[in-house]
Amino acid sequence: MSLEFKIADLTATPQHHRLELPSGWCAERAGAMFRPCAASGPVELTVVRNALVIEVEGVARAEVAFSCSRCAEAASTLIEAAFAHRFVGPGQLDAGDGSFDLFDADPDVSEHDGVHLSLDDLVIEHLLIELPAVPVCAESCRGLCPQCGANFNQETCGCAREPARASPWATLADFAVATKRDG
């Protein structure tokens, strides 16, 4: 199912909708790192139309699967994205007269085509922003042994541990800055 509305069907009375994300919503955009756990996810929307301006507020949820960045085990997480966006009529974003409009600087304002309002890209964009940069199965994940590959969450290994190296920035911890005192 597509997240699309006919603009003529929208009214000034808030309309509440519960729709489903299109199947495979993150396949092309999130790369190989993430996969949707379900064919779709719920999207709750409130849509209001005042003349050619349409305001949309919503929350989208999806469960995504991934391989843990520390231990490489399969894991999943629930992501949730709340958003608010305003769509203005065709040609209202850039009048072409060189004047600066409030809409020009607002990333949460887009144009609609006057006939249809498609929210697929908007909702997917907000979900993608919520994906973790370094996904882990748990914050307490201990990772893999760099020598033999043993999963420290499940076992210990007999590999010799290298002593922890001091950070090259560690000497700055004792650095004192002289301040000039008035008087």
Tell whether the model's pLDDT for residue 180 goes beyond 90. no
- pLDDT tens digits for 138-153? 999 999 998 899 999 9
Per-residue confidence at 101, pLDDT binned at 50, 70, 90?
A: low
Tell whether the model's pLDDT for residue 154 goes beyond 80. yes
Residue 44 token pair: 């709750």
- Whole-prediction pTM value? 0.75
- Once rounded to an integer, what is the mean pLDDT over residues 77-101? 78
pLDDT on residue 1: 47
- Percentage, residues of the chain above pLDDT 90: 49
DSSP per residue, the chain: ---EEEGGG--SS-EEEEEEPPTTTTTTTSTTS-EESSS--EEEEEEEEETTEEEEEEEEEEEEEEE-TTT--EEEEEEEEEEEEEEE-TT-S--SSS---HHHH-TTEEE--SSEEE-HHHHHHHHHHHS-SS--S-TT---B-TTT--BTTT----PPPPPPPPPTTGGGGG-----PPP-
Q: What is the rounded distance in angstroms from the CA atom of residue 154 to the CA atom of residue 168?
A: 32
* Alpha-carbon distance values, 25 to 126, 135, 169 (Å): 12, 19, 43
pLDDT on residue 31: 75
Which of the residue ranges 125-134, 152-161, 165-174 would you say has the lowest mean pLDDT?
165-174
- pLDDT tens digits for 4-26? 999 999 999 999 999 988 767 77
The full length of the chain comes to 183
- pLDDT tens digits for 103-138? 556 778 888 888 999 998 899 899 999 999 999 999
State the amino acid at position 101 in one-letter form. D
